[in-house]
A and B are shown apart, each in its own frame.
Chain A
Amino acid sequence: MVSSMRVPGSLKRKLRAAGLLIAGLAVAARSTRANEMVVLQKTGANPQARAADSWIDQGSTGTNHGGSTTLQVTSSNGANQRALVEFDLSSISNSGIKLATLTLFMATAPSASRTYGAYRVTSRWIESGVTWASRLAGFAWGAAGGDVNGAATATTATGTTSNVSLNWTITADVQQWFGSASPIANYGTLIRDQTENSATVRTGIFSSMDNATQANRPSLTVNFVQNVQGVSSTAGNGQILLKWSYPAAIGTVLSATNGVLILREAGGALSSAIVPTDGTAYTRNAGCTNVIGAATIVFSSNSLPTTFNDSAAGDNADCPPANGTLYAYKVFAKDAANNYSASGASSQFVPLVAGTPNTTASGQLSVLWNVGTGSTTLAAPGIIPGTVAAIATSSNITYGVVPNSGNPVFTPVSTDAAITGRPPILPSASASIGANVIYTADANGFVYALNALTGDFLWSTNPTGLVANTFTAGPGVLVKGFASAAYTGTHDLVVLGTRNSGTTTGNRILGLDGNAGTMTWQLLGNSGGNPAMDIVVATPFVDYVNNAIWVTSNSAGGVAQPSLWKVNPNTGARLATANLGNISNAPYVSVAGETLFVGNDAGTLYAINTSNAATRASYAAGDTRVAGSAVVLNYSSPYTVVFSGATTVKAVIFNSTTNTFTTSGAGTWSIAMPGGCAPSEPLGYPGFAKIYVGCSDGTMYQIDIASGAIDKSKSLRPGSTLGDPTLDLTLSVLIVGSTSSRVYAISFPF
């Protein structure tokens, strides 16, 4: 807990009038160590699009004060009041946070001095809906009055003087939002009296973000050291070449960036807990015995280099990298006082690249970038080629990065709950909403449309009003611009299925308007003549040829109820179903549109007639399960179909004229993954000669389609499980997540 300070409001206003921000000056006066400083405050020039504030009232538990020009904090027996404030941190993305000070202007002081605590909020709330009882309309707090971390991050005494600013040092919270080893979603700060339920009403009144006097609105002053950007590694024979650049200043420069420190660790891990200590100068020494934790200090500079050639002939005669060994590097920017771009005790967001030198190109590995996600991330990122990759995580945080550099496109977005499915992205030219848009859905049943370039919410909704109706898979999106005239909807259609594990019969498929998030239709299991519907855990497939949506589901473990659903996108009407046993994979419809391929959880691959959902043929692959969607590599029958099992990847041929699978002979193969590792969903497209599979040994495998042989592999993180990969064909980058709480990017083809 940190005690903070008060600043007289009269002085604050005078300095503001002089063009100086008191919060910033106060911070600068007591800390010249950080590199840059910004003051986040809602103004005409800085609308703080993702910011919010309100106050909540125990005496009127259902009343929302989101539009108030004040924030009230009261101690009163049974009628306490608390303030909530959250800032838009977009302008300081990709930084190590050194100091963060929350400032509220207290227009009216309580009649006796109180101690007010600042608490990190642990649940998402919405300004227009938050009350004492609910965090947003219809969704109660876990604890009435606000879900917070149990202890105050900082406290401050109010005094009894009005028109002063109160400050709370919430550095630890902002650091957790910005790159702790286990990042925490930014849900803002709650201010409350540390001794509530006073017999005498004690109220402090603050200016809110809606207050007419901009200078008095809440502000967050942040001191930070920006990371270097665009870090890349290129492996060679006995060398790894690192390159990077320096970002332009985004705030008031307190101490200019004057150098870098590079750490290296063999094995590719380089834990985010390994960080340099601020104020300490580090150097590489002969023999490279200078270390930080398990990492070796391989380079330091008090100038602004943009390359480091890690080789005996280059910049590291002391301990050059050994051929055949995977190394991870972190490049820390620093200022003149040796403050580094880590956030507290973590360097989760510090650029980390890796490489393996070798004598041959095939043995070399160059990891373009990787980013920390704070939790296992196995879903393929969504992508607008050449522009942005969207990485949704189980940490309630969605990241947007440049596909070939890993640089942030937007500051991470905090969602209501975990997101475990791939977030589809549409470029503005295709999306009916008219913006580059990410559609994603979370484990509390919320669906979001995010601006893919800013991270701003275009809309969010919980279409069923229940957190039990969770979403495990990403949405399918029917793009109006791609659809035939048979689709009569006005806008793009976002389709999802619920994973309500409390029912094996009453799950539902939802169609939402892509522009507004309003529900267009729903198909509810065991209702309205529909058969029972178990959990839906895979992304719906949009079948443009047949103007249909295909959705898979579990089936209560048997075949007594459907697990494949064909739905009319105009109405949500059930067009056909099939009982194929539990299915956890997305279906795939051939380009010609006559056959759908889907594998079930028992390891059987089905070819389905898309006109009526009848089975054309099936193939029991004998490998426990089908893992992920099948890949169909031809535009017309006969089709080569590649799919993963528990430990194998197989290619079979299906002829839709004869309705037969060919599972042996020319064009077919089955390969056992090395070491019995569990493969991801295969990645490939018609016309490709190779397919790509991530495996549970931390390696990406390239498989030749003609022969079924693994012809190349890249070990990204030994011991970790790699997820479903995605490709940016514009930038020739392959991106894949992992159980190591990191997402990796490598050049493609490799």
Chain B
Amino acid sequence: MVTSSSNPPGPPQRECFRKRPTLALAASFLLTLAGCGPTSQSQLPSMNPGTAAQAAVSFCDSSAANCTSGTSFAITSLRDLNVVVDWQNLQTGTHAQKISFILPGGELYQAFVKSFAVADGANGAVTTVEALPVAGTWITQRGLTGMWSVTLELDGQAIGTRTVQFTP
């Protein structure tokens, strides 16, 4: 059994707290697709124009040296597809990132949810890496090639979509 002495006696003390903004709703997101061929950007509505969260997304072969980014990968030689998201200007606190991999026909293959924390002093910068298994999976077994879409969400808010090519 655990109890808490939450209210120590004595005079009232001054409240000191860190302000916690309402995350996605209080931010605007700028998706920058860096290192992945032509750069595209999508600006989402902002409730706080002074805060512009940015996401730079790149793809790479997990087994390649330096994880060199690309936009097209042969599934016969691709072990995992790494999706690297460089977040900037995020609000301090815990965030949930969702990356969805959409088949060329528009059907959902798989989605990954990852939570991460943005610490004070990090300037809102966090890099996440999500790996889509490819070698030996249904992608290679059933030849699920073509132009896939990868959608990015943060805290339930759509950030943007990027495409990646899987070739036989």
B66 in the interface (beta carbon within 8 A): no
**List of A residues within 8 angstroms of B108 by Cβ:** 182, 374-376, 741
Stretch at the interface among A192-200, A223-231, A302-310, A634-642: A192-200
Q: Are B4 and A472 interface neighbours, CB within 8 A?
A: no
A111 in the interface (beta carbon within 8 A): yes
Bound together, the chains give a CA A200 to CA B8 distance in angstroms of 9
A51 in the interface (beta carbon within 8 A): no
Stretch at the interface among B34-42, B44-52, B113-121: B113-121
Q: Are A151 and B140 interface neighbours, CB within 8 A?
A: no
**List of A residues within 8 angstroms of B115 by Cβ:** 122-123, 141-143, 147-148
Q: Contact flags (1/0) for A137-162 with B, using CB distance below 8 Å?
A: 00001111111111100000000000
Bound together, the chains give a CA A30 to CA B21 distance in angstroms of 31
From B100, B135, B142, give the contact of A696 (CB < 8 A): B142
Nearest B residue (CB) for A181? B108
Q: Are B20 and A194 interface neighbours, CB within 8 A?
A: yes
**List of B residues within 8 angstroms of A557 by Cβ:** 77
Known A108-B4, A144-B117, A198-B17; judge A678-B94 contact (CB<8 A).
no
From B4, B25, B140, B156, give the contact of A203 (CB < 8 A): B4
Known A110-B6, A501-B131; judge A70-B1 contact (CB<8 A).
yes
Bound together, the chains give a CA A110 to CA B8 distance in angstroms of 11
Q: Are A721 and B142 interface neighbours, CB within 8 A?
A: yes
**List of B residues within 8 angstroms of A678 by Cβ:** 142-143
**List of B residues within 8 angstroms of A627 by Cβ:** 141-142
Known A143-B116, A150-B23, A470-B133; judge A77-B16 contact (CB<8 A).
yes
**List of B residues within 8 angstroms of A723 by Cβ:** 138, 142
Q: Are B18 and A197 interface neighbours, CB within 8 A?
A: yes
Bound together, the chains give a CA A501 to CA B133 distance in angstroms of 8
A-facing residues in B82-135 (Cβ within 8 Å) = 93-96, 100, 103, 105, 107-111, 113-117, 131, 133, 135
Known A70-B3, A201-B6, A443-B133; judge A150-B155 contact (CB<8 A).
yes
Q: Bin chain A's interface residue count.
A: 35 or more
B24 in the interface (beta carbon within 8 A): yes
Q: Are A375 and B2 interface neighbours, CB within 8 A?
A: no
The minimal Cβ–Cβ distance linking B65 to chain A, given in whole angstroms, is: 14
The minimal Cβ–Cβ distance linking B114 to chain A, given in whole angstroms, is: 6
**List of B residues within 8 angstroms of A203 by Cβ:** 4-7
From A150, A499, A585, A741, give the contact of B156 (CB < 8 A): A150
Q: Are A195 and B17 interface neighbours, CB within 8 A?
A: yes
Known A144-B117, A537-B136, A678-B143; judge A150-B154 contact (CB<8 A).
yes
Bound together, the chains give a CA A146 to CA B22 distance in angstroms of 17
From A69, A111, A149, A198, give the contact of B96 (CB < 8 A): A149
Q: Are B133 and A148 interface neighbours, CB within 8 A?
A: no
B162 in the interface (beta carbon within 8 A): no
From A143, A150, A197, A394, give the contact of B24 (CB < 8 A): A150
**List of A residues within 8 angstroms of B13 by Cβ:** 199-200
Bound together, the chains give a CA A538 to CA B2 distance in angstroms of 47
**List of B residues within 8 angstroms of A374 by Cβ:** 108
**List of A residues within 8 angstroms of B111 by Cβ:** 182, 375, 394-395
Bound together, the chains give a CA A501 to CA B81 distance in angstroms of 11
The minimal Cβ–Cβ distance linking A379 to chain B, given in whole angstroms, is: 8
The minimal Cβ–Cβ distance linking A466 to chain B, given in whole angstroms, is: 14
Bound together, the chains give a CA A468 to CA B114 distance in angstroms of 15
Known A198-B15, A395-B111, A470-B133; judge A143-B94 contact (CB<8 A).
yes
A719 in the interface (beta carbon within 8 A): yes
Bound together, the chains give a CA A637 to CA B20 distance in angstroms of 72
Total B residues in contact with A, Cβ cutoff 8 Å: 58
**List of B residues within 8 angstroms of A204 by Cβ:** 6
The minimal Cβ–Cβ distance linking B82 to chain A, given in whole angstroms, is: 10
From A201, A472, A719, give the contact of B133 (CB < 8 A): A472
**List of B residues within 8 angstroms of A81 by Cβ:** 4
A53 in the interface (beta carbon within 8 A): no
Bound together, the chains give a CA A696 to CA B144 distance in angstroms of 9
Bound together, the chains give a CA A421 to CA B49 distance in angstroms of 46
Bound together, the chains give a CA A696 to CA B156 distance in angstroms of 32
Please indicate which of the listed interface residues A141, A150, A376, A646 has the most CB atoms of chain B within 10 Å of its own CB. A150
From B63, B135, B143, give the contact of A537 (CB < 8 A): B135
Q: Are A394 and B95 interface neighbours, CB within 8 A?
A: no
Bound together, the chains give a CA A378 to CA B117 distance in angstroms of 34
Known A77-B16, A148-B96; judge A501-B1 contact (CB<8 A).
no
Q: Are B137 and A201 interface neighbours, CB within 8 A?
A: no
Q: Are A111 and B63 interface neighbours, CB within 8 A?
A: no
Please indicate which of the listed interface residues B22, B23, B94 has the most CB atoms of chain A within 10 Å of its own CB. B94
Bound together, the chains give a CA A499 to CA B136 distance in angstroms of 9
Bound together, the chains give a CA A108 to CA B93 distance in angstroms of 27
Q: Are A720 and B12 interface neighbours, CB within 8 A?
A: no
A381 in the interface (beta carbon within 8 A): no
Bound together, the chains give a CA A196 to CA B117 distance in angstroms of 15
Q: Are A150 and B96 interface neighbours, CB within 8 A?
A: yes
Bound together, the chains give a CA A604 to CA B133 distance in angstroms of 24
From B105, B109, B143, give the contact of A375 (CB < 8 A): B109
A584 in the interface (beta carbon within 8 A): yes
Bound together, the chains give a CA A151 to CA B27 distance in angstroms of 12
Known A141-B115, A150-B24; judge A739-B105 contact (CB<8 A).
yes
Nearest B residue (CB) for A601? B140
Bound together, the chains give a CA A254 to CA B143 distance in angstroms of 51
From B22, B79, B117, give the contact of A501 (CB < 8 A): B79
Closest 6 CB pairs of A and B: A203-B6, A150-B155, A537-B136, A147-B115, A143-B117, A199-B16
Q: List 15 A-B contacts (CB under 8 A).
A: A74-B4, A77-B16, A110-B7, A149-B156, A151-B23, A197-B16, A202-B6, A205-B4, A375-B108, A394-B109, A554-B136, A624-B168, A625-B141, A720-B107, A739-B105
Q: Which residues of A contact B (CB under 8 A)?
A: 55, 65, 68-70, 72, 74-75, 77, 81, 108, 110-111, 122-123, 141-151, 182, 184, 194-205, 374-376, 378, 394-395, 418, 420, 443, 470, 472, 499, 501-502, 535, 537-538, 554, 557, 582, 584-585, 601, 624-625, 627-628, 646, 678, 680, 696, 719-721, 723, 739-741
Given A646-B143, A741-B108, 18 extra CB contacts under 8 A = A55-B2, A72-B4, A108-B6, A142-B115, A149-B96, A151-B156, A198-B15, A200-B12, A201-B7, A201-B8, A375-B110, A472-B137, A499-B133, A582-B136, A584-B140, A584-B141, A625-B141, A720-B107
